[in-house]
Structure 1
Amino acid sequence: MRASHWILFLSSIFLLCTIAIGISKFASPQSAQAEIYQEGILMQTIDLSSVTEPEKITLTSKLGENIILIEHGQISMYSSTCPDQLCVHQGIIKNGIYPIVCLPNQVVIQIKSSNTASPDAVSR
């Protein structure tokens, strides 16, 4: 293959990967359920597609306090008493690709959606 063919081939692959990443990042799930856990216990499940007004939820425990901001189709950690603030800086999540985790206060927010694929296999 000549160099021009390689450039065209690699450009096509790059374009396809960029489109796939864009679709996965910006596609909103049809029915997203946010699950909020504190110290391993499910505290609340929220249907993000039915949220009409922004709402804040405060979780308080002996470990600290977290304020969660719930908006239509998305959720974020608004503030936290943890020292590193990584959970706050993580920003908004709209899909189930990754959760928000506040390790010092043991709070986890994850999204389960109807279009999230199930695993192909489970190892034991």
Structure 2
Amino acid sequence: MVELNSPQLDAVFHALGDATRRRMLHDLAAGERSVGQLAEPFAMSLAAASKHIKALENAGLIRREVRGRTHLCRLDPGPLAGAHGWLRFYEQFWTDRLDVLERLLRAEDAAKPPTPAGDDP
């Protein structure tokens, strides 16, 4: 069962709720990046990029390592498992309901009398 009252799950969804952070995660999936490299595709300052990175760190989605003056970020996909589990529950919820709808529609179609050829429905 997925924990519904999890501060980490809240932080993950907060982090994923922003397109800039989702893009940063996507970029990190290819390998570690510096803060400057993560900020590069966006018209933002390093300070603004650092705020996005901090939100990702708070969610546990990335790890930052300082090497000299360079801050390197690395994806940590572990916390995404909780978000995936939460979403999987609702995927099954809607799949079940759509399966019921499909069965009802097929039964309704099967119960209709055949339409004579040439008649418009």
> Fold conserved (TM > 0.5)?
no
Structure number, greater radius of gyration: 2
The higher-RCO structure (CA 8 Å, 6+ apart) is: 2
Task: Select the structure that is richer in strand.
Answer: 1
Task: Give TM class, smaller chain.
Answer: under 0.3
Task: Select the structure that is richer in helix.
Answer: 2
Q: Tell me the TM-score normalized by structure 1.
A: 0.23
